[in-house]
C-alpha cells in the first residue's frame, strides 16, 4: 500500500477535491474503494417481486451460472423505492439456503420424530383425508331445508410465497369442493 501523507486526510481531500460537502469520494476509505459489490460477478439481473407479503416490494435478482447469487430492492418501485425489510432482504435464502428442506417431512399422530415421505405417498394421504373430511362434514341444507351445499370441515390457508396462478387454482378448487374458509397468510 502507498505511504499515506496528510494530503490523504479526509478533510484535506474534501477541501482540495471535487467533493466539497464530504459525502462522496473525499470520505471514502481505501478499504471501501477496494470493495466490490456482491453482484459484480453476476451474469445478469432480473426484475421480480418479493414473495413474502402483500406489500409486494420490487426486487432485483442477480444470477450467475444459472443460480441466484443476490436479491436486492429495486429502486424502480414506487412502493418500496429500493428498500426491502429484513425478511425480504433474506429472500435469496428461499432458493439457495443449504439447509432448506427439499423432501416431504411427516410427523404422524402422537409421533415424536419427523419422517421422510415420498411425494406420491404424501399426495395420496392428503387426497384421502380431504375426501373423508368433506364426506363427514358435508352440509346439504339447513334446518329449514334451504340449500347450503358446503363443508365446514375443510379450510385452506395459503402461504404468501404462492404465486397468482397457484392462488387462482386453489381458490377455484376449494370453492368447487364446497369449502368457504379460504384464507391467505398475508391477510393474517
Contact residues toward ligand SF4 (CB under 6 A) are 50, 52-53, 55-57, 80, 84-85, 87-88
CB of 157 to ligand SF4, least distance (A): 18
Pick between residue 137 and residue 161 the one whose CB is nearest to ligand SF4. 161
Name which of 98, 102, 104, 144 is nearest 125 in CA terms.
104
Question: How far is CA 43 from its chain centroid?
Answer: 22
CB of 169 to ligand SF4, least distance (A): 22
Pick between residue 26 and residue 160 the one whose CB is nearest to ligand SF4. 160
Residues 14/20, Cβ–Cβ less than 8 Å: yes
Q: Which residue is nearest to ligand SF4 (CB)?
A: 88
Pick between residue 87 and residue 129 the one whose CB is nearest to ligand SF4. 87
Name which of 118, 88, 92, 123 is nearest 105 in CA terms.
118
CB of 147 to ligand SF4, least distance (A): 41
In this structure, what C-alpha cell is assigned to residue 86?
429484513
Pick between residue 88 and residue 178 the one whose CB is nearest to ligand SF4. 88
Strand order from edge to edge, sheet including 44-49:
44-49, 58-64, 67-73
CB of 86 to ligand SF4, least distance (A): 8
Pick between residue 50 and residue 62 the one whose CB is nearest to ligand SF4. 50
**b/e 63-75 (16+ beta carbons within 10 angstroms → b):** beeeebbbbbbbe
Name which of 34, 48, 39 is nearest 2 in CA terms.
34
CB of 79 to ligand SF4, least distance (A): 8
5: helix, coil or strand?
coil
Amino acid at each position: 500500500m502507498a505511504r499515506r501523507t496528510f494530503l490523504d486526510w479526509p478533510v484535506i481531500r474534501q477541501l482540495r477535491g471535487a467533493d466539497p460537502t464530504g459525502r462522496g469520494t473525499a470520505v471514502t476509505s481505501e478499504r471501501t474503494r477496494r470493495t466490490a459489490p456482491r453482484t459484480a460477478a453476476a451474469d445478469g439481473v432480473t426484475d421480480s417481486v418479493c414473495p413474502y407479503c402483500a406489500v409486494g416490494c420490487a426486487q432485483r435478482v442477480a444470477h450467475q451460472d444459472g443460480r441466484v447469487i443476490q436479491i436486492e430492492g429495486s429502486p424502480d418501485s414506487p412502493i418500496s423505492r429500493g428498500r426491502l425489510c429484513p425478511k425480504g432482504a433474506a429472500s435469496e435464502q428461499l432458493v439457495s439456503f443449504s439447509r432448506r428442506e427439499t423432501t416431504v417431512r411427516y410427523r404422524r399422530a402422537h409421533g415424536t420424530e419427523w419422517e421422510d415421505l415420498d411425494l406420491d405417498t404424501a399426495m395420496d394421504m392428503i387426497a384421502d383425508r380431504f375426501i373423508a373430511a368433506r364426506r363427514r362434514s358435508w352440509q346439504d341444507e339447513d334446518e329449514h331445508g334451504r340449500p347450503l351445499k358446503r363443508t365446514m370441515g375443510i379450510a385452506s390457508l395459503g402461504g404468501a410465497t404462492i404465486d397468482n396462478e397457484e392462488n387462482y387454482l386453489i381458490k377455484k378448487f376449494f370453492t368447487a369442493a364446497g369449502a368457504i374458509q379460504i384464507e391467505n397468510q398475508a391477510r393474517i
